[in-house]
Structure 1
Amino acid sequence: MLSILRSLVQEVNSARDLQEALDVIVSRVQKAMDTEVCSVYLLDPATNRYILMATEGLYQQAVGQVSLAYSEGLIGLVGSREEPINLEDAPSHPRYRYFPETGEERFRSFLGVPIIHHRRVLGVLVVQQRESSRCFDEGEEAFLVTVSAQLAGVIAHSEATGAISGLSLTGEEATDVSFSGVPGAPGVAIGKGVVVYPAADLDVVPEKPTDDVELELSLFEGAVTAVREDIERVAA
């Protein structure tokens, strides 16, 4: 999974715009996880609704057309809880919401993770499978959480650099993006703001041989657990 994640990060960082990055993510995640559907729903701050912005597996004509209220359906449940939701039989869940234009009635297994940046929910990343017997395991959940963290940075960067061009996801005029700073000294200063956004590069992580594979696996599992606890604390 690490090599897949490295390749995905590089492709996302080289994407020309946000939509291309979203298309890359749904395509690569769908193949990497060997699942039938991967979709991204982004929360439009202008309308406070989740909008289907990219998908691999659902009907393409639903992209940009299907939207859910902030707390509606399983997407809204993932966003409001700010934590992953993993279901073997999504249609049986009381919060399940069916949209015939997506064609998702064929898919039963569901794993959704929130896309969070600085404690703000930006959207939801979802994978779905036709068989109800499939339950996505912890490794798959950790992979999707990692991808969502990368996607959160891309979305935040798009907002910060004006890549969304002052428009809401529905194309309507939105308010300007603003950032609240912390004063370092008294007085007034006027200058140009700079958004520092270092691109993620997994190639800089050194590859070191080990004589104790079990120890390294234990350390990795501990790191995954620590990250999951950090995400839960941020969401609290």
Structure 2
Amino acid sequence: MGQHSDKARETLLDAAEELFALHGIDAVSNRRITEHAGTANHSAIAYHFGDRDELLRALLSRHRGEMGKRRLDLIATLPDDAGVRDILACMILPWIEYLASRPMPSWHARFLFQVRSVPSVAEVLESSLTANPEVEALIHRMQAALDHVPPEVVRGRALILGPMVLGVCASYEGQIQNGERIPNWRGVGYFFIDSCSGMLTAPVTHPEDFITFPEGPYLL
């Protein structure tokens, strides 16, 4: 793909992420995306991505390589007996650092918040989170470190934490854009690590009285 085509593709991704973040996934048409991107070619989405699902997959996988590299660097420093907090740092910090690196205004957290709230794109989100051996390995290490907590409780807590973390990040991203917050994503990341660690390791007072959840993404 040529340089011009690459730039056109990135412009479409930028436009789509912003519109999806502000208006929701199902409320934004391909035509609206192309117009927001400044192109008169209303078939540009089909040309560059094929269909809406492939556009969403491209957005979800965007810059995953740099996040994956950072995660590998963190994993390399983990001791064999790493605790929950250190494992969480490997899962959370690469994403938080990516949000911190985005140019202003950024839309990524709000885009992901919209994605998670729309059943029609749930399958796209699920497929974007699979086949990641580093994350899978971290999840197994997390489960081993939480062997004192019933697996069903661990999963239920993780499925609560995911939307919570994403919702806070989406709100924080909007507050930064509106001038209501001075950006401190690093502080946000460590707040999440401490908070999630506390919830995951909390004692279980009623082992047979927990909420069950359908399958879903682990944390983020």
TM-score, L = length of structure 2: 0.33
Q: Going by fraction, where is strand more abundant, 1 or 2?
A: 1
Q: Which has the higher helix share?
A: 2
Q: TM-score of the superposition, structure 1-length normalised?
A: 0.31
